Amino acid sequence: MLKATNLELRFGGFRVVDRVSFTIRAAKTYALIGPNGSGKTSLFNAITGVYKPQGGKIFFRGKDITSYAPHRVYREGIVRTFQYPKVFYKMTIIDNLIFAARNQVGDNPVSAVFQRGKVKEQERNLKKKALDVLDKIGLTKYAESYPSELSGGQLKLLELGRALMTDPKLLMLDEPAAGINPILATQLFKILRRIRDEENLTIFLIEHRLEIVREFVDWVYVMRSGKIVLEGSPNEVLYDKNFLEIYTGG
Ligand SMILES: Nc1ncnc2c1ncn2[C@@H]1O[C@H](COP(=O)(O)OP(=O)(O)OP(=O)(O)O)[C@@H](O)[C@H]1O
Ligand SMILES: [Mg+2]
């Protein structure tokens, strides 16, 4: 589904992503782990067009998407969430979800005027979909609330919901459970697991909690100083003789 070869991202003279190659296969779950500052978020940024890589190639479903702007990457079906939730604080929860959906007919002012019936129908469908997503992420009773009324964990769920509204082919999650308490984190991963299994999603996530990595993913990439230095099944990686040294930076 996704393949990167020799990907390189530099800030000044500093290589934060250092000739990284990896493969993501369809309907599998991958984790990217590594110490703070090892380049995990930067790698996500290079893939999703937030920063333009200075070297290497990225192929998505066989298509070269290297240096695509974020909206084009998104249009291809790669949808990401951020380490710090990005939601619209002046919209209700359900409107946050509806707004996230793609290809809205009403977005085009001409069709909004001349295709009222179609726009109305699409609005109904989006609302139905948003209600379905709300149910999946367990936020039904907050449909008409505002994001400021949600806890940090619920905001993370809302961000996940916004991503799901767009029918992602590849879901990239940057620390989906960061900053929320362990009970909510476990709950979030339960929800994520159910959705993943129901919809056969392909997931690439950055995660610090190794017990979650072990239970949740099929394959692990370990980054240190901008490089992928170790990969394998969770058990292969977590019990590798070099793992602790790499993961704790010595
Ligand atoms: N916009 C930027 N300009 C300059 N340096 C940056 C920029 N973004 C990241 N870096 C540097 O790149 C390196 C990798 O940062 P990155 O955020 O990718 O790490 P990370 O693995 O996601 O860390 P964490 O686990 O703390 O989220 C760090 O040294 C960071 O300071
Ligand atoms: Mg990060």
* Average pLDDT, rounded, for the chain: 91
pLDDT band at 83 (very low <50, low <70, confident <90, very high): confident
The angle that helices 152-164 and 116-136 make with each other, rounded to 10 degrees, is 130
Model-level pTM? 0.90
Whose structure tokens read 């590798």? 240
Q: Across residues 235-248, what is the average pLDDT?
A: 92
The pLDDT value recorded for residue 108 is 64
User: What distance in Å separates the CA atoms of residue 40 and residue 227, rounded to the nearest whole number?
Assistant: 10
Domain boundary assignment for the chain? 1-77+168-250, 92-166
Which residue is closest in CA terms to ligand 1's atom 1?
11
How is domain 1-77+168-250 classified at the architecture level of CATH? 3-Layer(aba) Sandwich (3.40)
| Phi, psi (rounded to 5 degrees) for 10 | -120, 140
Cα torsion angle, 155, 157, 160, 166, sign: negative
Q: Across residues 124-131, what is the average pLDDT?
A: 93
108 vs 217 pLDDT, higher one: 217
Distance 106 CA to ligand 1 centre (A): 38
Residue 17 CB contacts under 8 Å (≥ 6 apart), including other chains: 7, 8, 9, 39, 42, 43, 46, 53, 226
Residues whose beta carbon lies within 6 Å of some atom of ligand 1: 11, 16, 34, 36-42, 83
User: pLDDT exceeding 90 applies to what percent of the chain?
Assistant: 68
What atom of ligand 1 comes closest to residue 45's alpha carbon? 18
Which residue is closest in CA terms to ligand 1's atom 24?
36
Question: Best of 8, 11, 44, 223 to mutate for ligand 1, by most ligand atoms within 8 A of CB?
Answer: 11
